[in-house]
Structure 1
């Protein structure tokens, strides 16, 4: 069995750029009512469970002060809560609340509606290709977003 050739630099760059641009377009079209950082943070906590503030900042590629500001706002809205870290009493863990889970479900519905309108004109073949690409990207994320 032969080893496949490595991906080209052009493919890697193009994929990263287009995914980022598509994510921003989807957020604009979805009218979720909050900045993308807010719903991304809630989704990250939902996916990974309670996280330290530094872990949230690292995962979202934002500064710690930005993460602190976002978490404070999400706390005030009742979407997340902080609890003492049982492994380190100097730290706290941020977890999603029931209200946060409900809001995340609403944001996801809005995203699906917004993106759905972008996808409607595509052929069945293009939709199948995007479905496969989304599966591949999800696998990459699952593998490397530990």
Structure 2
């Protein structure tokens, strides 16, 4: 198993945007859905996503903060699984810091979209598979 720093892994993850976010559902099962992570961000172990406060995703996180993010690189052989803890916020200043114009394809009124909420996922463990395999505990 390779021993990489978060900065080294972040270089490999650069440009990864879409992932599957898995939450624990209200009946104790696992539910996954595609989410945009904005691949322009320099990954430091924390990911940000936007959704609606009444979405299944937000409701799941409100009941159980444990999530997993699964990324796959298209142009290189790389799979990344991030296990972390999620929180929800509707703090406009915090959301503004992570907002990108491209998100308006889903949230037509931008940061003024009624019911908009941001998910922050702080990684606790990151595994990857590709040219080498490894794990980072945070």
TM (normalized to structure 2)?
Answer: 0.28
TM (normalized to structure 1)?
Answer: 0.27
Which one has the bigger strand percentage? 2
Which one has the bigger helix percentage? 1
* More relative contact order, 1 or 2 (CA 8 Å, 6+ apart): 2
